[in-house]
Amino acid sequence: MNNGEEVDNKRLHSEMDDTEGNEKKHQGKKPKWSRFPIRSRAHRNPLNDESAADYPVCPSEVDWKAMYPQLQSTDKVEILDVGCAYGGLITSIAPVAPQTLILGAEIRARVSEFTQSRINQLREEKPEGHHYNNVWAIRLNAMKYLPNYFKKNQLQKIFFMFPDPHFKNRTFRRRIIQSTLIAEYAYILSPGGMIYTITDVQELGEWMQKHLDEHPLFDRVPEGELVSDPFIKYIQNSSEDGERTTKQGLNKYQAVYRKKVLH
């Protein structure tokens, strides 16, 4: 077993142990949103996912009103978290951008259903005085079906927080940052829109930076500019993996890119 496989297996076993403990702890109690509140596989092969019949044919067929109760006819989703997991990031930034529609995309059905329940509870309780009607999560294979949901130049921000490393060479093609996929992200991202990436795996961080550096439509945002970005502190610590890496004192490899404005 190589080092990558060993790390991957340790992660999976750790997540399952945490999940089992959480399930026992919260039996008969109102759930508290801890790191892994349900049992689910840590990774899923996006290339073997369901058929296109499970998705809308085009963005105009998406029932956004069902996701956002106070949706107005001119509203549109502008922030996307790819691989949102249990919703740590999207629920943290919802009060920061209260007038912006935020969507989390998660490929694992049980996890996306849990995140929807979490958001519904937040809508009922309204902590911090925020309504949470501007945030939702869906089951979505982002490697295949993003153009089915989003129009050209629609999004302002796309987050890739601690994506699956897919350590083995033969599974690199499952990584969410690929040259062909970056072209899709560029299509749905508005000029001047941002891509945020972060990981605790150095090799993956270098991989993502290399592919984004090589794409002609993106420029890396200097670290000095990120000091005033209100979302930076949330990508560091608000997701479940962000909390994990902070607790364990692991390094985090962060890079932010801006889509070029062409004249």
Residues tagged active-site? 164
Residue 119 annotated in ligand binding: no
Residue 107 annotated in ligand binding: yes
DSSP readout, 93-127? Answer: HTTTSTTSEEEEEES-HHHHHHHHHHHHHHHHH-G
Residue 176 annotated in ligand binding: no
Residue carrying the six token digits 């076993």:
13
Residue 240 annotated in ligand binding: yes
Dihedral pair phi/psi, residue 230, rounded to 5°: -70, -15
CB count in 10 Å sphere of residue 25 = 12
Residue 76 burial (C-beta neighbours within 10 Å; 0-12, 13-18, 19+): middle
Sign, CA dihedral 28-29-31-35, equals negative
* CA 9 distance to own-chain centroid: 22
Phi-psi region of 28 (alpha: psi -120 to 50; beta: other; left: phi over 0): left
Q: Are 226 and 258 in contact (CB under 8 A)?
A: no
Radius of gyration of the chain (CA): 18
Cβ density class 204-213: b for 16+ within 10 Å, e for less: bbebbbebbe
Spell out the residues 6+ positions from residue 233 whose beta carbon is closer than 8 angstroms to its own: none
Residue 141 annotated in ligand binding: yes
Residue 239 annotated in ligand binding: yes
Binding site feature residues for S-adenosyl-L-methionine: 83, 106-107, 141-142, 239-241
Binding site feature residues: 83, 106-107, 141-142, 239-241
